[in-house]
Every structure is written in C-alpha cells, then in structure tokens.
C-alpha cells in the first residue's frame, strides 16, 4: 500500500500551531542540512539512522532524538520530509516495515519547495 503524499498547502497546515499534537513531523536529512534550515516544528531523524532508531526503547529513542515517536497504530500522524523527496522514499519503506502505514504521510517536494514558500 503506497504512503499518502501531501501537497505544500497541506504540509503548511500541518506544521501550523493548531496542528501540534495531531502530527509529528520528521526531517530525514542529515543534521548538517537540518541545521542550515528546517521546518520549525520538525524533528531531525536522519534516514541513515532510522532503522536503528526504530529498534530503540521509547526512553532511549527520546533521549537520543528529543521527541516521542508515535506508535504505528497511533492516531497521531507521522509526517516525513527531506530535501527533495529521495530520502523520504527510503524512509517510507523502513517505516512501512515497522508498521507505519495508516498514520504515515510524506511530503515529497520537501525542504527545497517549502523553503521557497516560507521565504516568499
């Protein structure tokens, strides 16, 4: 089952203040890319670390990444983005194998598109 993709407008709505608690937004780029610019409400979890991160206990995950990851069967939606979409596709596969299907959304155009929208 393919992961549901979202538009820039939908992504903007998700990262707005009134969506906090309904969504967890994860930037799967490198920490260096994340430091250069990111969505204010997002958390950095590089795709290269994703499989290992999912194997951590809840406490270990929070200590390492600074946020709570919703369970695969949670009503909290997990939203992933990267620079342009390539790493999101890799992240989707890893997350789908871990059971994130019904509560997973992907923003493919990623930071390249969103950063131009925010800047304008």
Residues belonging to the active site: 82
Q: Tell me the C-alpha distance between 92 and 46, whole Å.
A: 13
For the beta sheet containing 4-5, the strands, ordered from the edge strand earlier in sequence to the opposite edge, are: 4-5, 104-107, 77-81, 23-27, 43-44
User: The tokens of 61 are what?
Assistant: 């995950």
Q: What is the DSSP string of 4-42?
A: EE--HHHHHHHTSGGGBTTEEEEE-S-HHHHHH---TT-
């Amino acid at each position: 089952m393919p992961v549901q993709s979202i538009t820039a407008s939908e992504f903007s709505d998700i990262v707005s203040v009134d969506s906090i608690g309904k969504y967890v937004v994860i930037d799967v780029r490198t920490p260096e890319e994340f430091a250069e610019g990111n969505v204010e409400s997002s958390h950095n979890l590089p795709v290269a670390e994703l499989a290992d991160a999912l194997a951590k206990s809840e406490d270990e995950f929070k200590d390492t990444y600074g946020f709570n990851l919703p369970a695969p069967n949670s009503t909290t939606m997990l939203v992933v983005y990267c620079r342009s979409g390539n790493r999101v596709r890799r992240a989707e596969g890893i997350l789908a194998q871990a059971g994130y299907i019904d509560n997973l959304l992907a923003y493919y155009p990623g930071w390249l598109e969103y950063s131009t929208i925010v800047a304008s």
